[in-house]
């Protein structure tokens, strides 16, 4: 597969992946449009981004311990990732303290942070289940077909 | 014990036990440790499901309540797909053909169960209100499943070799899930109106995009940290050339390992 075709394939697959998402939003606009939800989506997007960044950085920090095994356990990258995770947490706290900017019907900053973590866990559960089903469906459609035989031709 | 400490003991500690248990069971080779780690993970899981009774005052316990509701249909869906997949044409670990029907039945029951949680009276409700995390889980799950099936269908068609039939089946699956989303947007559910569902679809989309961007930035930062550290390391010093004694030792080893009949 040449390079141009490969780029086209990736673009086409990305479009196919985003097609249902865009269609749902287009349909929603046609039905009257939940403009209010559109405005509420911004704090949700920001909270999801900050929480996944912070927890993702902490997970990768744990991963660095295994990396350090083969490098005489250097401390610099560990501190680097710890600083990166701390920046995420600090940014979250600062932005949550700016009035209603990122708050979502929770009484305090602490409650919002816990809500964000549980929210991310629930979203991750939905994402993992959807991934499992999509992979399983793909695999089962392939194995449901008749077995293929590879015929080798003599030169 | 105050509410915060109760939540820490009955929700967050069990929540931490699940990944710790899974991590230990995957990394250890000692049978006792593996069994104990699995027990830890199972105990954590059970404690989270029981959290609506152990810490009813904590808002986080709603996630435990949801977990108890979705574990049944999720298991049926996954087991169903496993049975269907491995009763087909697989070179190893093939299951009997009869398992295919069982798998299809299990999958259908799991999906109908989930649909019943939206349009029938199986909706996860706590103290007379719909569990707020169900309104996170259900739209996110449907939206992503539709996107993934659509992407996988095109992937099979463009990269796969003569996989048109399989690709069409995946298009059908994507279309089926998409039609459930559209139905949810148009028809009121048992406890969730169509307008509410549409509102939460927006939030689910924002959630998915935010999570994807957040994780991408974390991975990028991780790469930058490793790159900067590796770049700051000094060049490895060059070693001295081998001595005559070392060379003769290497020659002896190479000579001992080179064999074969000589041509006559």
Domain boundaries, chain B: 1-58, 62-129, 133-229
Residues 35-94 of A with CB under 8 A from B: 36-38, 40-42, 44-54, 56-57, 59-60, 63, 67, 74, 76-77, 80-81, 84, 88
pTM above 0.90, yes or no: no
**Shortest alpha-carbon distance between residue A149 and chain B (Å):** 12
Q: Which residue has the higher pLDDT, B111 or A30?
A: B111
Nearest to A95 by CA among A58, A43, A55: A43
- Looking at the predicted structure, is the pLDDT value of residue A36 above 60? no
* For chain A, domain boundaries: 1-33, 34-143
Instruction: Give the length of chain A.
Output: 155
Q: Could you give the dihedral angle defined by the CA atoms of residues B189, B192, B193 and B198, in that order, rounded to the nearest 10 degrees?
A: -110
Confidence grade of residue B264 (pLDDT, cut at 50, 70, 90):
very low
Confidence grade of residue A26 (pLDDT, cut at 50, 70, 90):
confident
Q: What is the pLDDT of residues B48-75, one digit of tens each?
A: 899 888 888 888 888 888 999 999 999 9
Q: What is the pLDDT of residues B70-91, one digit of tens each?
A: 999 999 999 999 999 888 888 7
Strands in chain B per DSSP E: 125-126, 129-130
* Phi, psi of B138, deg, nearest 5: -65, -50
B140 Cβ neighbours under 8 A, 6+ residues apart: A123, A126, A127, A130, B204, B207, B208
Q: Please list every residue in chain B whose beta carbon sits closer than 8 Å to the beta carbon of residue A20.
A: 143, 146-147, 150, 174, 177-178, 181
Three-state DSSP class for residue B20: helix
ipTM for this model: 0.85
Contact A49 B165 (CB under 8 A): no
Q: What is the mean pLDDT of chain B?
A: 88
Coarse DSSP helix, strand, coil percentages of chain B, rounded to the nearest 5 percent: 75, 0, 25
**HEC assignment per residue over A90-125:** HHHHHHHCCCCCCCCCCCCHHHHHHHHHHHHHHHHH
What is the structure's pLDDT at B25? 87
Mean pLDDT of A29-46: 76
Q: Please list every residue in chain B whose beta carbon sits closer than 8 Å to the beta carbon of residue A105.
A: none
Contact A52 B228 (CB under 8 A): no
Q: Which residue from A17, A28, A47 is facing B150, i.e. has the nearest CB? A: A17
Mean pLDDT of B192-219: 91
Q: How far is CA A19 from the centre of its chain?
A: 17
Mean pLDDT of B122-145: 90
What is the structure's pLDDT at B240? 85
Confidence grade of residue B261 (pLDDT, cut at 50, 70, 90):
low
* Residue listed under structure tokens 């009955």: B10
Q: What is the pLDDT of residues B100-120, one digit of tens each?
A: 899 999 999 999 999 999 998
């Amino acid at each position: 597969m040449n390079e141009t075709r490969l780029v086209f394939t990736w673009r086409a697959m990305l479009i196919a992946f985003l097609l249902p998402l865009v269609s749902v939003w287009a349909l929603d606009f046609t039905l009257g449009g939940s403009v209010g939800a559109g405005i509420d989506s911004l704090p949700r997007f920001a909270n999801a981004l900050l929480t996944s960044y912070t927890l993702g950085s902490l997970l990768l920090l744990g991963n660095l311990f295994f990396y350090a095994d083969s490098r005489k356990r250097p401390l610099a990258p560990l501190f680097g990732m710890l600083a990166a995770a701390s920046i995420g947490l600090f940014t979250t706290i600062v932005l949550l303290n700016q009035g209603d900017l990122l708050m979502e019907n929770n009484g305090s900053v602490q409650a919002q942070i816990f809500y964000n973590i549980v929210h991310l866990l629930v979203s991750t559960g939905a994402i993992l289940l959807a991934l499992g089903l999509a992979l399983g469906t793909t695999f089962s459609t392939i194995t449901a077909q008749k077995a293929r035989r590879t015929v080798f031709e003599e030169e | 014990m105050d509410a915060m400490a109760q939540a820490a003991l009955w929700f967050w500690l069990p929540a931490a036990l699940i990944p710790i248990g899974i991590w230990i069971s995957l990394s250890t080779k000692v049978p006792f440790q593996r069994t104990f780690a699995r027990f830890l993970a199972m105990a954590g899981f059970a404690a989270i499901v029981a959290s609506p009774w152990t810490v009813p005052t904590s808002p986080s316990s709603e996630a435990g309540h949801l977990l108890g509701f979705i574990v049944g249909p999720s298991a049926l869906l996954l087991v169903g797909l496993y049975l269907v997949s491995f009763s087909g044409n697989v070179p190893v670990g093939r299951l009997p053909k009869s398992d295919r029907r069982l798998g299809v039945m299990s999958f259908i029951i799991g999906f109908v169960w989930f649909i019943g949680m939206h349009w029938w009276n199986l909706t996860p409700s706590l103290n007379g209100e719909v569990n707020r995390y169900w309104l996170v889980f259900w739209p996110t799950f449907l939206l992503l499943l539709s996107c993934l099936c659509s992407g996988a269908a095109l992937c099979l068609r463009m990269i796969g070799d003569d996989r048109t039939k399989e690709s069409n089946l995946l298009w059908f699956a994507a279309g089926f899930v998409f039609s459930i989303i559209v139905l949810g947007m148009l028809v009121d559910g048992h406890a969730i109106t169509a307008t509410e569902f549409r509102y939460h679809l927006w939030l689910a989309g924002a959630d998915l995009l935010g999570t994807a961007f957040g994780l991408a930035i974390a991975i990028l930062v991780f790469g930058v940290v490793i790159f900067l550290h590796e770049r700051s390391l000094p060049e490895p010093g060059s070693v001295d050339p081998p001595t005559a004694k070392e060379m003769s030792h290497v020659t002896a080893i190479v000579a001992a390992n080179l064999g074969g009949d000589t041509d006559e």
